Amino acid sequence: MILKYIKEIIFPSMTLLGTLGNMFVSVNYIFSWWGSPEKKPIHVILIHLAFTNILILLTKGLQKTVAAFGLRNFLDDIGCKSIVYLERVARGLSICTSSLLTVVQAIIISPRASRWGRLRPKSAWHILPLFSFFWILNGLISMNLIHSITGTGFNISQLENSDSYCYFMQESQGIKWIVLPLMVLRDAVFQGAMGGASGYMVFLLHKHHQHVFYLQNSKLLYRTPPELRAAQSVLLLMLCFVFFYWADCAFSLILSLSSRDKTLMENTQEFLALGYASFSPFVLIHRDGLLVDCWHAQWEKLRKCHFHLNVQ
């Protein structure tokens, strides 16, 4: 009973707050992107990441929220196939986009004369074809779900020991041995790229820290470039991703091997699956001061409006 009440609080809160946070981040960066003469590739990637997070929260989080309250099943067979397929695609997009964000940020802060510096994207439009590739790749990898997912057709209260309206049907071994290696290969490649880029950024930031320490000892003033501040934000975001991803994997493995009551572990695993999509926008809002900038812009508009009214 206590667990049921906790679920009725946690899943709706994570879904609502996470969706609002990602919407705020996406709208903020859309305005920054369109309002700036220099179209920054990082802003485009962050907009896509926020959209991916919203997709995860609306497909998985909304379904878990409805299930937590024991409401009537609103998904038929086609609805189940669509929502689970989109959820799997969105999770793959989250990995790919997070990896791309780390790699591009590492390239941006690289010295221009270096080998990595020459790969710097000249325009934000050069990033868009990669998004198309990510959608096609993850869409093809997740195609098996269209055949293996079915709806229950019942209220959640009519199903014992269940917390989902949609069920996986037994797949053939042939399909499993095609899909699983592709998913593992995708995750390994993109997380490997993410790890390499993150390590390179840590190395560059360490060199920058030594440079700043030298300038401070020389009593010279120095301001950290915005690219390096953005790199610090991206590293924090990647730490958030790695924590939730591997914790989710660990709990999934424990669930598959455990024979005891799995209710608590299943709910913990569901919480971890939504964690990155829910908390990552607030990492950006706090780290980059987006909320402060937004309030400052609104205050300036109100002040100018008030000034013009007084003049008139």
Q: Classify burial at 92, counting beta carbons within 10 Å of its beta carbon; exposed 0-12, middle 13-18, buried 19 or more.
A: buried
Supply the pTM of this predicted model: 0.82
List the single range of 52-56, 82-86, 87-91, 184-188 with lowest mean pLDDT. Answer: 82-86
Quote the CA–CA distance of 171 and 177 in Å, as a whole number.
10
Of the chain, the percentage scoring pLDDT greater than 70 comes to 72
The pLDDT assigned to 51 comes to 95
**What is the rounded average pLDDT of the residues 121-145?**
88
Range of the domain at 53: 2-311
* Count of structural domains within the chain: 1
Q: Which of the pair, 231 or 154, is modelled with greater confidence?
A: 231
Quote the CA–CA distance of 278 and 53 in Å, as a whole number.
7
For the stretch 21-43, pLDDT in tens is 999 989 888 887 776 666 788 88
Q: How many CB atoms lie within 10 A of CB 300?
A: 10
Quote the CA–CA distance of 238 and 243 in Å, as a whole number.
8
Mean pLDDT score of the chain, rounded to an integer?
78
The pLDDT assigned to 10 comes to 83
For the stretch 107-118, pLDDT in tens is 888 887 777 777
For the stretch 38-85, pLDDT in tens is 678 888 999 999 999 999 999 887 777 666 666 655 667 787 888 889
Quote the CA–CA distance of 29 and 42 in Å, as a whole number.
9
Quote the CA–CA distance of 242 and 155 in Å, as a whole number.
35
The pLDDT assigned to 6 comes to 67
**CB-based contacts of 162: which residues, under 8 Å, 6+ apart?**
152, 156
Whether 214 has a pLDDT exceeding 60, the answer reads no
Here the CATH number for the domain that contains residue 248 is: 1.20.1070.10
The pLDDT assigned to 303 comes to 55
Q: Which of the pair, 243 or 111, is modelled with greater confidence?
A: 243
The SS3 assignment for 252 reads helix
- DSSP string for residues in 226-248: HHHHHHHHHHHHHHHHHHHHHHH
Distance in Å from the first CA to the final CA of the chain: 63
| Rounded (10°) angle between helices 77-108 and 128-141 | 140
Which of 47, 40, 51 has the alpha carbon at shortest distance from 124?
Answer: 40
